[in-house]
Amino acid sequence: MVSNEQKTLAVKRASILDGASVANDIKKEVAASVARLWAKEGIKPCLAAVRVGDDPASEVYVRNKIKACEEVGIYSEHHALPASTSQTELLALIASLNARPDVHGVLIQMPLPKGIDESAILEAVDPAKDVDGFHPQNVGKLAMGHPNFVPCTPAGIMELLKRHHIEIAGADACVIGRSQIVGRPMAQLLIQNDATVTVCHSRTRDLAAVARRADILVVAIGRPAMVGADYIKPGATVIDVGMNRVTDESVARELFGEDAERRIRIIAKHGYTLVGDVHPAEADLVAGRRTPVPGGVGLLTVAMLLANTVKAARQN
């Protein structure tokens, strides 16, 4: 339930954190770094993306990453393997990419088909080429406070916070979700920037009350629009990592408030629109700032992948 006081506050303070502008700035910086590497060292950064199977979402994600590489001058390779590929065959490809000095970053697109051990595959990637930041060596370095390659989504969120001058040091932060891809590395980065961090999950008691204490709330739980007004401290910064499809027009009207008609037109054209793990209409009434979906964290994830690839090329 949203109080009148919260509605008044929202009118004065609520604003959208534009991930697109920050991502564009990062990509410009990456393009300049690529040009310098080529001019001074004769090095052309190269990212090899490996996809196994025909998952439609994975195909789109890889295509977007390759397109982003082209925009900044990074050379990219797309290794699209059939779903029948064995773990042995996939490991052989990774070993060949590890051995090539002209390949600086290796990305394994998830999910992998059943029968392939994802942990074994991620551990097979050379840590010096692990631009996703998922190898145990890079995870350990982050945990020790000496990060090298940081998972791209948490790294992008930190850039968003810092470039919008959102104070992290001394802030109460809450991360909802404890995955190795977002939740845990996000908590580590916030701690290393002097926030006081609580990590929540499905077993957290009175989750809304815990989340409501946070000045910075990061939501990566994978449940459409789960986090409503009662989870959000008035004036808080809300970072929505979720990405879920909405196909029902009546649901869109309930979720998107003033933006509902535009979203319904998108559903009519494409069959769906996207919503995060945060209820956007309710969050707008309480939060001081929030990220949109789409146009928020997802764009930053790709930008940080590019930055990690250039970093790998420079280090190698």
Half-sphere exposure of 151 (CA within 13 A, CB side): 24
The CATH number that domain 42-126 falls under is 3.40.50.10860
| Two domains, one topology: 42-126 and 151-298 | yes
Tell me whether residue 233 is one of the annotated catalytic residues. no
Query: Given this model, what pLDDT does residue 14 score?
Result: 63
31 — phi, psi (to 5°)? -60, -40
Tell me whether residue 240 is one of the annotated catalytic residues. no
Tell me: the pLDDT tens digits for 87-142? 999 999 999 999 999 999 999 999 999 999 999 999 999 999 999 999 999 999 99
Tell me: the pLDDT tens digits for 259-292? 999 999 999 999 999 999 999 999 999 999 999 9
All structural domains of the chain with their residue ranges: 42-126, 151-298
The per-residue pLDDT of the chain, averaged, comes to: 94
Q: Given a cut of 70, is residue 171 above it in pLDDT?
A: yes
The CA-CA-CA angle for residues 250, 253, 258, to 5°, reads: 170
CATH 3.40.50.720 fits 151-298, yes or no: yes
Q: Given a cut of 90, is residue 57 above it in pLDDT?
A: no
Q: Report the candidate in 66, 94, 68 with the shortest Cα–Cα distance to residue 81.
A: 94
Tell me whether residue 132 is one of the annotated catalytic residues. yes
The catalytically annotated residue of 27, 65, 129, 311 is 65
Q: Given a cut of 50, is residue 12 above it in pLDDT?
A: no
The catalytically annotated residue of 6, 129, 130, 132 is 132
